[in-house]
């Protein structure tokens, strides 16, 4: 193991830069050469591969986004594209690749390792927190912090007018961001893809709280009723008594400086990823489980949905 490469892929997440920094710095300390692959798998196909040095990752630990950029790559999905990618890795004499991303990123890595004898290590970097094998993905807590601060601001103006806000958050088809944000902000209801949304239940719940100053409903973008705008339009038809507004937080949740916890998580996972390569533990995802580093075979690290137990039900429905 002499030369390794690192790339970021899929939706960027606050903390990805902290992970890149850890990978580069620990690899250089272990006398490895480190290459950055720019623009995700598309950059691997297009040979956008450059050496990284200690200073390449200076002053980025606190920055959102990714200095290596990301891309959704059609070329990498073809055998021809992956052949080109392999040739580029051979040309640079790269022995292994560390990929920072989500389930789509890992699917690409698994496909590649089945065709070419180049090992990969996965680092879970996505705000969705939707991966089997880790309690937290890099970026999740930062996204929840951002969402919570936005919702707190909305609560101020909603209280001024006794308004009902449907606020949509990202998460693709998993409700982790919505659930955490809803509980942290004392939302009156939380709609997630893992449970069927029932507007009659919502109506009953709101009626019981008629003396409230405002109503905040957090909606995961993957909700079965199609998101905040659709739900608000439907609810308005039968509830003219509410002054209803909607807000889609969208890509706001992808930006901003990573929280301390995400920076620390990123540093831990980045170091462990390089050490895994040195110890020849290949094709695993480096996760965190009960605050310990945990290695899971990459092919098992698929999308993982919420399990809403009684505790979560109580937190959602009994506290607001
Ligand atoms: O996977 C991260 C994520 O932010 C999802 O929550 C969201 O649905 C998706 O990426 C958006 O992708 P894009 O930035 O390509 O629109």
181-192 pLDDT per residue, tens? 999 999 999 999
Tens-digit pLDDT profile for residues 275-315 = 999 999 999 999 999 999 999 999 999 999 998 888 988 88
Q: Is 128 a catalytic residue?
A: yes
Q: How far apart are CA 266 and CA 138, in angstroms?
A: 6
Residue where one domain finishes, among candidates 228, 255, 282 = 255
Going from the Cα of 295 to the center of ligand 1, the distance in angstroms, rounded, reads 25
The atom number, within ligand 1, closest to the CA of 130 reads 1
- Domain containing 224 equals 141-255
Give residue for tokens 């297009």. 46
**pLDDT at residue 316, as a whole number:** 86
Provide the CB-side half-sphere exposure for 268 (13 A, CA): 20
Nearest-CA residue for ligand 1 atom 13 is 11
Tens-digit pLDDT profile for residues 104-118 = 999 999 999 999 999
Question: pLDDT category, 51, cuts 50, 70, 90?
Answer: very high
Q: Among 12, 46, 103, 128, which one carries the catalytic annotation?
A: 128
Does residue 200 lie within any of the structural domains? yes
**pLDDT at residue 209, as a whole number:** 82
Predicted TM-score (pTM) above 0.95: yes
**pLDDT at residue 313, as a whole number:** 85
Q: What value does the mean pLDDT of the chain take?
A: 97
The CATH number of the domain where 8 resides is what? 3.40.50.450
Does residue 317 lie within any of the structural domains? no
**pLDDT at residue 210, as a whole number:** 77
pLDDT at 152 over 90: yes
Q: How far apart are CA 233 and CA 231, in angstroms?
A: 5
The atom number, within ligand 1, closest to the CA of 172 reads 8
Ligand 1-lining residues (CB < 6 angstroms)? 10-11, 102, 126-128, 170-172, 221, 254
Going from the Cα of 53 to the center of ligand 1, the distance in angstroms, rounded, reads 30
Indicate whether 135 and 145 sit together in one domain. Answer: no
Indicate whether 116 and 89 sit together in one domain. Answer: yes
Q: For the chain, how many structural domains are there in total?
A: 2
Indicate whether 180 and 270 sit together in one domain. Answer: no
Indicate whether 250 and 268 sit together in one domain. Answer: no
**pLDDT at residue 314, as a whole number:** 87
Q: How far apart are CA 35 and CA 44, in angstroms?
A: 11
């Amino acid at each position: 193991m002499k030369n390794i490469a690192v790339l970021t892929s899929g939706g960027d997440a606050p903390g990805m830069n902290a992970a890149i920094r850890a990978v580069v710095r620990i690899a250089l300390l272990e006398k490895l050469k480190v290459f950055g692959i720019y623009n995700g798998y598309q950059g691997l196909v297009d040979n956008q591969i450059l050496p990284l040095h200690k200073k390449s990752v200076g002053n980025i630990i606190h920055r959102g986004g990714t200095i290596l950029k990301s891309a959704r790559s059609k070329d990498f999905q073809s055998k021809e594209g992956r052949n080109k990618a392999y040739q580029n890795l051979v040309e640079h004499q790269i022995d292994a690749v560390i990929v920072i991303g989500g389930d789509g990123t890992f699917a690409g890595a698994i496909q590649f390792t089945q065709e070419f004898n180049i090992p990969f290590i996965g680092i879970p970097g996505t705000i969705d927190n939707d991966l089997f094998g880790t309690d937290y993905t890099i970026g999740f807590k930062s996204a929840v912090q951002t969402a919570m601060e936005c919702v707190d601001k909305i609560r101020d103006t909603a209280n001024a007018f006794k308004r009902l806000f449907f606020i949509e958050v990202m998460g693709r088809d998993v409700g982790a961001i919505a659930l955490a944000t809803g509980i942290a902000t004392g939302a009156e209801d939380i709609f997630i893809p893992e449970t069927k949304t029932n507007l009659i239940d919502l109506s009953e719940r709101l009626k019981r709280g008629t003396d409230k100053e405002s109503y905040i409903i957090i909606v995961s973008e993957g909700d079965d009723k199609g998101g905040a705008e659709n739900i608000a339009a439907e609810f308005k038809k039968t509830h003219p008594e509410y002054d209803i507004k909607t807000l889609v937080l969208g890509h706001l949740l992808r930006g901003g400086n990573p929280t301390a916890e995400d920076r620390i998580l990123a540093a831990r996972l980045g170091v462990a990823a390089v050490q895994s390569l040195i110890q020849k533990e290949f094709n695993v995802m480096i996760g965190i489980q009960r605050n310990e580093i945990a290695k899971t075979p990459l092919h098992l690290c698929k999308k993982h949905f919420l399990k809403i137990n009684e505790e979560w039900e109580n937190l959602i429905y009994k506290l607001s």
